């Protein structure tokens, strides 16, 4: 069984379409969407695309997804991006987001039991980076039986070992911090885990995303990820200092 892990899409429809096309060509049986499908500039289209995947897809709740659901329900006490997104999705799309799981567990061929979370196994907002020290990482993994943990949230790909546990960050499909404007994800199965990069027409995507009307879209989404991409090393250090 081949598993594709797609994280941090942030409603970047062109990037999502490019990755899903590659997933289809290569015959992945299972797709795990690891959270933060939203907020973002093209939420309706991204959600419709994911809802069409049917039973082959599993969904992890990200902090962004949770905040959009909360904004949909309350229409107040929400960040600008979450509220803007909530105002542009349907009740059916809201219910789809609300059904996402805190974590997903799958027995991956050749790798064994694997846990998919958003931030850490215990929190959708906790940050794991490429430079997270053992004294901070250890408590996050307490009680986790799986020896493979796939996370996201910090939008940069890495592998980190802690004892017998391998922590893999799948990177970001729609808002990557990799020093490169592309879509990033993770392929698992056949005994290994492979960090993946999918190119697409970023220039055309920028036009579509900017036209969507998301508030301060360049500042909040595009500048550091797709316009002038910051490096994974910079972001790892930055987020680690915030943790």
Q: Hey, which bits of the chain come out as E strands?
A: 3-6, 30-33, 57-59, 104-108, 112-116, 148-151, 158-162, 165-169, 183-189, 192-198
Cis peptide before 36 (omega within 30 of 0): no
pLDDT at position 209 over 80 = yes
The token duo for 146 is 């799986």
The rounded percent of the chain whose pLDDT value lies above 70 is 99
125-138 pLDDT, tens digit per residue, is: 999 999 999 999 99
Q: Which residue has the tokens 């004294």?
A: 135
Q: How many domains does the chain have?
A: 1
Domain membership of residue 105 as a residue range: 3-242
Q: Which residue has the tokens 């905040």?
A: 67
Neighbours of 145 (CB within 10 A): 8
Q: Which residue has the tokens 């795990």?
A: 32
Whole-number pLDDT of residue 1 = 81
* pTM higher than 0.75: yes
Give the CATH number of the domain where residue 56 resides.
Answer: 3.60.21.10
Q: How far is CA 155 from CA 92, 99, 168, 233, in A?
A: 28, 23, 12, 11
């Amino acid at each position: 069984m081949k598993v594709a892990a797609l994280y941090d899409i942030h409603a970047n429809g062109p990037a999502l379409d490019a990755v899903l096309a590659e997933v289809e060509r290569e015959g992945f049986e299972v797709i795990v969407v690891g959270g933060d499908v939203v907020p973002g500039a093209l939420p309706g289209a991204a959600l419709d695309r994911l809802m069409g995947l049917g039973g082959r897809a599993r969904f992890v709740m990200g902090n962004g997804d949770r905040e959009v659901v909360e904004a949909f329900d309350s229409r107040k006490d929400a960040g600008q991006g979450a509220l803007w997104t909530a105002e542009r999705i349907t009740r059916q799309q809201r219910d789809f987001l609300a059904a996402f799981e805190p974590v997903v567990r799958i027995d991956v061929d050749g790798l064994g039991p694997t846990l998919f979370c958003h931030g850490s196994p215990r929190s959708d907002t906790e940050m794991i980076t490429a430079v997270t020290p053992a004294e901070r990482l250890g408590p996050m993994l307490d009680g986790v039986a799986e020896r493979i943990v796939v996370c996201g949230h910090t939008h940069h790909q890495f592998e980190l070992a802690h004892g017998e546990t391998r922590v893999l960050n799948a990177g970001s499909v729609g808002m990557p911090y990799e020093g490169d404007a592309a879509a990033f994800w993770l392929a698992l199965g056949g005994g290994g885990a492979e960090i993946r990069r999918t190119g697409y027409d970023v220039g055309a995507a920028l036009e579509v995303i900017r036209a969507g009307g998301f508030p301060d879209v360049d500042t909040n989404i595009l500048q550091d990820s797709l316009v002038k991409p910051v490096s994974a090393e910079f972001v790892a250090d930055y987020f680690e200092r915030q943790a």
